[in-house]
Amino acid sequence: MSLSALTRTARRITGLNGMIKTHAVSNHVVCRRTVSTFFAHPKAAVQPRSLGSSWVSNSRRWATSVTPHSTASDPAEVEALRCLEQGTAKLEEGDVQGAKLLYQRSAEINRNASSLFNLGVTHYHLKEYDEAIEAWKESIALQPSSPDAHTNLASAYIISPVSRPDLALHHLQIASSLSPEDPEIAFNHAAVLEATGRLEEALTQYQRSKDFGVERAAVHIRNVSAKILGQRLKAEEAEKSES
């Protein structure tokens, strides 16, 4: 799979139901990610996450928020959460621009990992990839243990006009270490490894993805295995011709 093919895949399957993830918000509840169909949006106190992920999966994810919340008596916190909730509602309605404005307002009031994560989601869907990258980088700086944020950032690095597969791989490796049994992360990791010619490693990640439930990884396992075999046969023929 070439990087251009990978980018086309990302453009085709992302969007509001794409690899990114978003979070719904409810007061003072730390929510966990759920998987439904292409990064669904759960309930609890979270931010939405849209991309991320994964370019190659059909499910949505939600990133978790571990940002400390103020008490409900804090007017600023209440307003920030209100904007976050309303932004998520707008996003689910398909009003990405409206969601972005609300997430920006939430981040202005309380600049935490959740508001920045969701803001990155809207930038991504609006094809503002540089802005998405900056929002997710800042979100990760505040909450480095979020596999969803690392996965989304990797997607932005791949799909941006100046593709950076090296940085995408870096963040997918981190995401894999944080969530080693996540099949979407494993699949995306494999896709980028394959696109950059690291076939043996790609095969390992595709196999992990299949083992954890992504059945279509089987096709990629066969394709990559055939590529590896072809390379070995070519190398053997080269050795014979030299001897």
What is the model's pLDDT at position 243? 74
In the structure, what pLDDT confidence band is assigned to residue 1 with cuts at 50, 70 and 90?
A: low
pLDDT at 76 over 70: yes
What is the model's pLDDT at position 242? 83
What is the model's pLDDT at position 72? 52
Average pLDDT of the chain is 78
Domains belonging to the chain, first-starting first, are 3-242 (1.25.40.10)
- Give the C-alpha distances (Å, rounded to integers) separating 128 from 41, 54, 80, 125: 22, 18, 23, 7
What is the model's pLDDT at position 54? 35
pLDDT at 152 over 80: yes
Mean pLDDT of 168-175: 98
pLDDT at 61 over 70: no
What is the model's pLDDT at position 239? 86
What is the model's pLDDT at position 83? 96
Taking a C-beta distance cutoff of 8 angstroms, is the pair 153, 130 a contact?
no
What is the model's pLDDT at position 42? 24
What is the C-alpha separation between 133 and 111, in angstroms, rounded?
16
What is the model's pLDDT at position 74? 86
Q: Give pairs for 69-78: CB < 8 Å, separation 24+.
A: 69/27, 69/28, 69/45, 70/110, 72/27, 72/28, 76/109, 76/110, 77/109, 77/110
In the structure, what pLDDT confidence band is assigned to residue 66 with cuts at 50, 70 and 90?
A: very low
Taking a C-beta distance cutoff of 8 angstroms, is the pair 92, 224 a contact?
no
In the structure, what pLDDT confidence band is assigned to residue 240 with cuts at 50, 70 and 90?
A: confident
What is the model's pLDDT at position 203? 98
pTM, two decimals, is 0.76
Mean pLDDT of 182-198: 97
Q: What is the pLDDT of residues 20-49, one digit of tens each?
A: 555 433 222 222 232 222 232 222 223 333
Percent over 90 (pLDDT), the chain: 66
